[in-house]
Amino acid sequence: MAEYISRGVFRLNTPVKIESCASVVGDKEAQGPLGKCFDKVVKDSHFGRNTWEQAESRFQLEAVSIAVNKAGLVKEDIGSICSGDLINQCTGSSYGLRELEIPFLGLYGACSTMAEGLIISSLLVESGVSLRAAAVTSSHFSTAERQFRAPLSYGGQRTPTSQWTCTAAGAVILSQKKGTAEITGGCIGVIADMGISDITNMGSAMAPAAASTIKRYLDATGTAPEDYDYIVTGDLGTVGSKLLIEFLKKQGVDISKQHRDCGAMIFDSKTQDTHCGGSGCGCSASVLCGVFLPMLEKGSIKNILFVATGALMSTMSLQQGESIPAIAHLINIRSNKNDS
């Protein structure tokens, strides 16, 4: 059973183990500061397929396959899989995972998908529905750019607050038994909308959602930022990260020492021309799987909050004059390396 702490905030009485994880990234991500952390680098943006959408599907499939292999499992061992992405109707997920024939739950949480998938997967495992459950997500620069912004060949100038959608995927396999990192609880996000409608300033749109979720979790669990090695946000980028820290400071919470942002970490903005940093579902998923989970598994860090943030607009909602609703889901991951 899970323990209800407050609305949307829960603790798992029996933590769910992270049995395995994998990250697959594109060439630009591999050239960034975290380049050596990922399991696989795919230099071809088409990943051997005919279209970028098909390539993104293959990124997801590859991430799941590597994670399954690393755990010494076969796909039949995975009881359910939660997945979503940014492409219209989440086709990166459904076409990518179709051949696996694993019971499939499709999600849409924009770039918050990895945390959402981990929340739902951890409940599937904890409740006993699935002996093992996987969470996976992906993004692709070229599929996102042409869907949300402009044709790539248009060569539009990028604004200073813009972020670069990562070509990447991350997959995590959860189980009841094995793993030196474990999910102990989480917080389901509430939609926050502060009226921002600039699609090239997503960090600012998402920062209030991240602040709200982190504050709700800390308050409900009676913990403070110092109780965590890192408080990792999804892809606020540099502008959004600064705002998040300011928002929380105004509410009496200082996370400046613990805070890391996957979007701010994945690129070197000075040399890689990525402005405010990386974004996309695959950004936080690959950085979680490539950087933070390995540290937890080794025991070099003990306790983190992973807070993936998503902007829930569409091009049509913005054309109709709407602002950008955002959400952030949180999971608490601990190392049990020295406990066992």
User: Given the rule CB under 8 A, which residues bind its own copies?
Assistant: 1-4, 7-8, 10, 50-51, 53-54, 76, 79-80, 84, 86-91, 93-95, 97-98, 101-110, 116, 119-120, 123-124, 126-131, 187-191, 193, 312-317, 320, 322, 325, 327, 329
In terms of CB distance, is 30 or 63 closer to its own copies? Answer: 63
Q: Which of 10, 11, 35, 13 is nearest to 23 (CA)?
A: 35
Q: Which of 300, 200, 268, 270 is nearest to 240 (CA)?
A: 200
Question: Which SS3 state, helix, strand or coil, does residue 158 take?
Answer: coil
CB of 339 to its own copies, least distance (A): 23
Q: Is 194 left (phi over 0), alpha (psi -120 to 50) or beta?
A: alpha
DSSP string, 19-37: EEEEEEEEHHHHTSTTGGG
CB of 163 to its own copies, least distance (A): 17
CB of 19 to its own copies, least distance (A): 17
Do the Cβ atoms of 243 and 217 come closer than 8 Å? Answer: no
In terms of CB distance, is 79 or 179 closer to its own copies? Answer: 79
Question: Which SS3 state, helix, strand or coil, does residue 193 take?
Answer: coil
H or E element: which one contains 80?
strand 80-84
In terms of CB distance, is 29 or 85 closer to its own copies? Answer: 85
CB of 232 to its own copies, least distance (A): 20
Q: Both tokens of residue 123?
A: 């409940």
In terms of CB distance, is 20 or 93 closer to its own copies? Answer: 93
Q: Which of 329, 325, 297 is nearest to 119 (CA)?
A: 329
In terms of CB distance, is 5 or 41 closer to its own copies? Answer: 5
In terms of CB distance, is 180 or 204 closer to its own copies? Answer: 204
CB of 238 to its own copies, least distance (A): 25
Q: Both tokens of residue 83?
A: 């997945």
CB of 106 to its own copies, least distance (A): 4
